[in-house]
Amino acid sequence: MLGYGFRKLLYLPLGILLLSLVSFVLTWMTPGDPVQQRMVAEGVRTSGENLVAYERSYQRLAEQLDYDLPPFYLTITNAALPDTLHRIVQADRRGAVRELALQFGNWPRVQQFYRALMAARLAEEPEVQTVARRLLVRSDPAYLRQQLATLPPGPAAQSLQTAYRDMVDGADRRDLLLPRVYWHGTENRYHRYLMNLLRGELGVSYADRRPVAQKIATALPRTVLLNGLALVLVYLLAIPLGLYMAYYYHSRFDRWATALTFLAFGLPSFWIATLLANYLTTPAYGMGWFPTMGFGEVPPDAGWWDALQIRASHLILPVFCLTYPSLAYVSRHLRASALIELAQPYVRTARMKGLAGSQVLWRHVFRNAAFPLVTLLGGLLPGLLAGSVLIEQIFNLPGMGQLLYDAATARDWPVVTAVVLVNGVLTILGLLLADIGYALLDPRIRLGKLPPR
Amino acid sequence: MKQTRWAYGFLFFLVAIALGADFIAGDKPLVAQVDGELYFPVLDGTPQREAWSEVPVDWAVWPPIPFRASSLDLSQPGYLPPLSRATGGRGWHWLGTDRLGRDTAAGIVSGTRVAVWVGIGSVLISLLLGLPLGSLAGYFGNDGMRLHRGGAIALLMGLVTGLFYGATTLFALAGGWIFWLLLGLTLVAAWSFWYLLLRGIARWVPWLRTPVGLPIDSIVVVLLEITVSIPGLVLLIALLSYVDRASLWVVVLTIGVLGWTPVARFLRAELLRIRELPYIAAARVGGVGELRLLFRHALPNAIGPVVVVAAFMVGTSILAEAMLSFLGIGVPADQVTWGSILQQSRVEPDAWWLAFFPGLLLTLTLLACNSLRQVR
């Protein structure tokens, strides 16, 4: 058993590694310039007045955030491109230089031209300045030539035009046909990201400059409480319901319960939640029986009974809305598998032995019919987490779902990716627990005689 | 079958509403006579007039709900209850209005169109992904497709090197369809190169000649498990928040891509059962090729239950779309859907009609789809 659990535990680091890759790619894909968004969050003024000061603080922040490092351990790229392209942090400039390098194929000359542009953008003549700043983000040769031709004569313009002519004359596109692999070692962004992740640093929210880890640490326990309560209730209620539905097959009880669970499974929980929130938490219909928002404030001197009452009055509606669809689903599953078990010969044997009905049901049938329930747990977890996005939104509970929703609508990417990551880890943990629990219940799995599922 | 008759009926009713949405709700008359000339404004859209309600018509036949889902009516106080007369005396607000005077019934008709379109579109995408993966995994299993080890390695290496070269150099050289053409040629060339090379080596290395099965089933099962363990809605919200301009296409695509697992899982299970049946063995002995066996003999027997699963998935997709538009994520802001009407009821709990009617339709749709699954 220990060996089996250990083997399963090995999947955990693997899954987390995979998830970290996914969430890294997500941070990478985020629209907009991450350094600039961070500058806004940090409160650095981004006016175009003083370009030099702006770019200096931009560069400093980029270095601080590791954006001047290569993205991954290795870069697979075209031989015409250098391994230092990532040092240009601004995406539009990097794109333009990349395009130029792919057009002319001769990196040293392209680099010269880029340096000339960088120098000219601080030149004394204002015309040269504006043209250089414009050209830094352009790569279309016709446009470059036309803009360079309009420059007034002078040393700055001269060097710029020479650099451009050198680049065009030195065009050599043979390198384009070759691929090249660069190895960067551990000095790369993903490595730093992963190390930060392992230390529990998830970045800083764009919205309010608080560390993401801190935001998640306040939200996660609430979601876990909500979903944990729902999960416990689901299993506490679904097991007897499902078993007795099967036991009294085709009785009036079974028919009613089947119809009700069918209905409950079809009723979208967010609709019911909306109705409940509209009618039972507002005075609109004279039925404002429940408080509207949050988890409730428990005064420090309250006894446990008062504290329980306050919490319960806030949690009863959301927990109900989270519980009933899963309850219907699990009990129907259990009914189906218990029906199969009840038809087995060993049930008849147990009856002939003289065991009472409830003994047969709970000792013999339940243990065999319960296996699917454990694996259902693994599938329920992602569903519950997703469902709590809406439930938390409707009942104003500041948990993970609310956090995700707020972050997604405010385009607060660090929070979005971190929430996806944490959700993924929770799901992996749930699946793992389900697998181990399954093996605990069923020795056949441990011995590798039956695939789990 | 008898139990599911109402379900089929209801779903056809929804599709009919979606197809005929312009004839049921809209601010253009079906037929109108202006100055002795007949117009069919819904059908042809010409002549372009600002508002047909202002045109002095000789006579006109209006749709039963003479409003557009998104047209505001600020001349009235808002939140008109059901069965109230519209201002200007033109028709009735059968199911009331919202704060901005948008007709709820028209919104529900437009929401039906969105729901049907999302449901069918995303399930088609799921089928497109799930059918090939499921049938390959189920029919061929882990050893149904056997190759010499050299051939398998050549396939893998050809894929890796071809994609590698394509991504690094071809991408820089060409764009558009030329890129795809070049990429295809490169893949074939890389594969052939490795194949010929390994064939040559295999003469002296018998290890390369031993046949191995392609582990298609294992790969598909791992993919299935990964996809199932993704909290779908969480990922949907995260992905859709990356999209700059919300559009229904993106919603349909993401729901469809995330939803391929039930189809694949079901088809795989069916084919695993069917491929062991005697009639397949008989056909194989009769000399029928493997692919023909799959398409002509195995798949037609497996496809029936899969269609039922697909019908069930229409319900899940519609639910996902309703959840997303309830949250206001991914669906364009000016698109009226069931979810967006439901969301508005949260602002004004007194307007029960905004919460009741879209939710009821959604529930009926889900129940109809679920009951198709139940009796299979």
Among candidates A77, A270, A385 on the partner chain, residue whose Cβ is nearest the Cβ of B231: A385
The number of beta carbons lying within 10 Å of the beta carbon of residue B148 is: 16
Span A404-429, pLDDT tens digits? 888 888 888 888 888 888 888 877 78
Q: Which of A25-34, A443-452, B94-103, B113-122 has the lowest mean pLDDT?
A: A443-452
The yes-or-no verdict on residue A171 having pLDDT over 70 is yes
The yes-or-no verdict on residue B89 having pLDDT over 70 is no
Span A179-236, pLDDT tens digits? 888 888 888 888 988 888 888 888 888 888 888 999 989 888 888 888 889 989 998 9
Chain A touched by B48 (CB under 8 Å): no
Chain A touched by B196 (CB under 8 Å): no
Q: Which of A3-7, A106-110, A416-420, B277-281 has the lowest mean pLDDT?
A: A3-7
Partner-chain contact B231 A382, CB within 8 Å: yes
The helix (run of H) or strand (run of E) holding residue A266 is: helix A252-266
Among candidates A102, A284, A394 on the partner chain, residue whose Cβ is nearest the Cβ of B350: A284
Confidence of residue B376 (pLDDT cuts 50, 70, 90): very low
Q: Which of A17, A29, A102, A271 to mutate to test the interface with B (most CBs of B within 10 A)?
A: A271
Report the pLDDT value the prediction gives residue A452, as an integer from 0 to 100.
43
Report the pLDDT value the prediction gives residue B14, as an integer from 0 to 100.
92
Span B214-229, pLDDT tens digits? 888 888 888 887 787 7
Closest residue in B to A270 (Cα) is: B323
A179 to chain B, closest Cα gap in Å: 6
**For A109-115, what is the mean pLDDT?**
89
Following DSSP, what letter does each residue of B154-171 receive, concatenated? HHHHHHHHHHHHIIIIIH
Report the pLDDT value the prediction gives residue B61, as an integer from 0 to 100.
78
Partner-chain contact B172 A102, CB within 8 Å: yes
Closest residue in B to A279 (Cα) is: B349
Span B42-87, pLDDT tens digits? 776 655 555 666 677 777 777 777 777 777 777 777 777 777 777 6
Class of domain A212-446: mainly alpha
Report the pLDDT value the prediction gives residue A92, as an integer from 0 to 100.
84
Q: How far apart are CA A185 and CA A176, in angstroms?
A: 25
- Of how many residues is chain B composed? 376
Span B151-191, pLDDT tens digits? 888 888 999 988 888 888 777 777 778 888 988 999 999 99
- Of how many residues is chain A composed? 453
Partner-chain contact A389 B350, CB within 8 Å: no
Per the CB < 8 A criterion, the answer to whether B213 and B146 are in contact is: yes
Tokens representing B96 are 């009331």
Looking only at Cα atoms, what is the longest distance across chain B? 93
What is the reported pTM?
A: 0.83
Half-sphere exposure of A18 (CA within 13 A, CB side): 11
**For B303-330, what is the mean pLDDT?**
87
Partner-chain contact B349 A279, CB within 8 Å: yes
The number of beta carbons lying within 10 Å of the beta carbon of residue A436 is: 18
Span A374-414, pLDDT tens digits? 767 776 776 667 778 888 888 888 888 888 888 888 888 88
Span B285-297, pLDDT tens digits? 999 888 888 889 8
Residue reference for tokens 């009609």: B353
Q: Which residues of chain B make contact with A271, given a CB cutoff of 8 A?
A: 342, 355, 359, 362-363
Q: Return the CATH number of B1-23+93-142+214-376, one of 1.10.620.20, 3.40.50.150, 3.40.50.720, 1.10.3720.10.
A: 1.10.3720.10
Partner-chain contact B169 A179, CB within 8 Å: yes
3-class DSSP state of A101: helix
Confidence of residue A245 (pLDDT cuts 50, 70, 90): very high
Chain A touched by B229 (CB under 8 Å): yes
Report the pLDDT value the prediction gives residue A253, as an integer from 0 to 100.
93
Q: Which of B241, B345, B365, B366 to mutate to test the interface with A (most CBs of A within 10 A)?
A: B241
3-class DSSP state of B32: strand
Partner-chain contact B231 A386, CB within 8 Å: yes
Partner-chain contact A268 B359, CB within 8 Å: yes
Please give, one letter per residue, the 3-state secondary structure of A180-208. EEEECCCCCHHHHHHHHHHCCCCCECCCC
Q: Which residues of chain A make contact with B169, given a CB cutoff of 8 A?
A: 78-79, 176-179
The yes-or-no verdict on residue A451 having pLDDT over 60 is no
* Residue whose C-alpha is closest to residue A212's, from A54, A38, A86: A38
Q: Which residues of chain A make contact with B229, given a CB cutoff of 8 A?
A: 378, 382, 424, 427-428, 431
Partner-chain contact B229 A274, CB within 8 Å: no
- CATH 1.10.3720.10 residue ranges for chain A: 212-446
Tokens representing B64 are 């039963």
Q: What percentage of chain A has pLDDT greater than the value 90?
A: 12
* Residue whose C-alpha is closest to residue B299's, from B144, B132, B141, B129: B132
Span A259-272, pLDDT tens digits? 999 899 889 999 99
Asked if this assembly's ipTM is beyond 0.90, the reply is no
Span A327-373, pLDDT tens digits? 998 898 899 889 998 999 999 999 999 888 888 888 888 888 887 78
Report the pLDDT value the prediction gives residue A241, as an integer from 0 to 100.
93
Q: How far apart are CA A25 and CA A23, in angstroms?
A: 5
Q: What is the mean pLDDT of chain B?
A: 83
**For B14-29, what is the mean pLDDT?**
84
Instruction: In chain B, count H helices and then E strands.
Output: 16, 7
Q: What is the mean pLDDT of chain A?
A: 83
Q: How far apart are CA B64 and CA B91, in angstroms?
A: 8
More confident residue, A133 or B52: A133
More confident residue, B9 or A33: B9
A79 to chain B, closest Cα gap in Å: 8
Q: Which of A135-139, A163-167, B51-55, B212-216 has the lowest mean pLDDT?
A: B51-55
Report the pLDDT value the prediction gives residue A46, as an integer from 0 to 100.
57
For chain B, domain boundaries: 1-23+93-142+214-376, 146-212
Q: Which of A94-98, A430-434, B299-303 has the lowest mean pLDDT?
A: A430-434
**For A76-84, what is the mean pLDDT?**
83
Tokens representing B359 are 């939710």
Chains A & B: contacts with CB separation below 8 Å: 134
Report the pLDDT value the prediction gives residue A254, as an integer from 0 to 100.
92
